[in-house]
Chain A
Amino acid sequence: MTIHPDLWLDAYLDGELDAVHSKQVEAHLNECADCRKAIEERKALSALLLDEPVLEACKPASRFTSEVALQLTRRPYRRDITGIRNLAWLGTPVALLLVAVFIFTAGLVQTVVDAFPGARATLEQLVASTASLDFIQGGALVADSVDTLRLMASFAIPEWNVVTFMAALVLTGVLYCCWMVGWLTRNRHSQHMAQISNCIER
């Protein structure tokens, strides 16, 4: 080792290096007088710093604590967002699943529509013309047909190609994985807090 491991010397002295790096530093120290001197200087500095006395508080502990207690509010500040947080946790996978269903259905409907030449244009025209049907009191059957047409069009009109289709699916999958990691971490934290609560109750 020809380069002086300057930053590592501090970590070595503080016991923060792993076994492999510690051995590397020790090997270097056996060869390098400058680094041995640097280590000695750091040890002397630590001794000098520790030679300084610990500051003894002027106020007695009871007074210190009661002065702090006097200024404490009734309860520690805690934003109550539990409801929103739970809703977000449950809503996220549902929303992601809906997005995935939309992507799949859109792809499927588009394939069917594109299989018939001119079908897309006809569908778009139909949707445009059905706008006026909202005002017709034609009963539930007509209204349902209009809604179905609109729904089909909303799936068929986006111009999906293989790349956008795959990118959207991969993105949805990645977001779902992120949610799962977050969920697991949250559960682990909840278990830890439950253990502590159990300890307290006992």
Chain B
Amino acid sequence: MSSVQMETNTHTDQLVCMAQAGDRDAFGELVLQHRSGVVNVVYRMCGDPALAEDAAQMAFIRAWQRLGDYRPIASFRSWLYRIAVNLALDELRRSRQVVDIDRLEIPSGAQGMQTSLEQRERQAAVQKAVQGLPPAARAVLVLREYAGLSYHEIAEALDIPAGTVMSRLNYARKCLITNLRPQMEEL
């Protein structure tokens, strides 16, 4: 672990400790630190940008409510992502997958950029393939590929053994390789 990363972790630990004591400003700083990560994790899980932002806010509120139960044995990030993933799964279950994977939107950030039509089609195909994965495998893939969590952190976040992380990731990648072969060749 680099010294910069260690310093960041200590700073996060301090903020968490202060937030646990009821410091709302410290929690606000934690929200700012992890906002982008949580929004993206939820978005990759449910595929709806508007829902992702609302669900991310809900995840932070739930994190505040459960902050008393957090112990620094696990990293704060994986603990927070666990809440976010569970919330996204709850949302998916509640809406019974009403998110039509054929009508997935490319986020506005991408539209702002001058992306070519093929690129947009490719991104839509990737999103469709990711959304087509079973939720358990999708959660592992999202936490690894998009959130950059280690296997140990994913195991902590999803409360599963590291071996299960490996097998689910392997399954998810194999499915995606099969479904996205033409796009992979284009790239």
Residues of A within 8 A of B (CB): 6-7, 9-11, 14, 16, 41-42, 44-59, 61, 64-65, 67-69, 71-79, 189, 192-193, 196-197, 199-200
Contact = CB atoms under 8 A, between A and B. Distances in A.
B71 to A, nearest CB: 7
Interface in B37-58: 39-40, 43, 49-50, 52-53, 56-57
Contact of A45 (B65, B150, B151, B176): B176
Interface string B107-134: 1111011000001001100110010000
B15 to A, nearest CB: 9
A55 B39 contact: yes
A56 B173 contact: no
B184 A44 contact: yes
Contacts of A68: 28, 31, 57, 60-61, 64
Nearest to A42: B173
Interface in B53-107: 53, 56-57, 60-61, 64-68, 71-73, 106-107
A189 B13 CA distance: 13
A11 B173 contact: no
27 contacts: A10-B166, A11-B151, A45-B176, A45-B180, A49-B145, A52-B123, A53-B113, A55-B49, A55-B107, A56-B112, A58-B108, A61-B35, A65-B32, A68-B31, A68-B57, A68-B61, A69-B24, A72-B27, A72-B64, A76-B20, A76-B22, A77-B68, A189-B73, A196-B13, A196-B14, A196-B17, A199-B14
A77 B129 CA distance: 39
Contact of B122 (A48, A65, A77): A48
Contacts of B109: 53-56
Contacts of A65: 28, 31-32, 35
The 8 closest A-B pairs by CB, nearest first: A78-B68, A56-B109, A76-B67, A75-B22, A53-B110, A44-B184, A55-B107, A55-B43
A44 B145 CA distance: 13
B20 to A, nearest CB: 6
Contacts of A53: 106-107, 109-110, 113, 123
Contacts of B36: 54, 57
B70 to A, nearest CB: 9
B27 A55 contact: no
Contacts of A189: 71-73
B177 interface: yes
A47 B146 CA distance: 11
Contacts of B167: 7
A51 B119 CA distance: 9
Contacts of A41: 177, 184
Contacts of A44: 184, 187
Contacts of A52: 110, 123, 126-127
A64 B30 CA distance: 12
B18 interface: yes
A73 B61 CA distance: 9
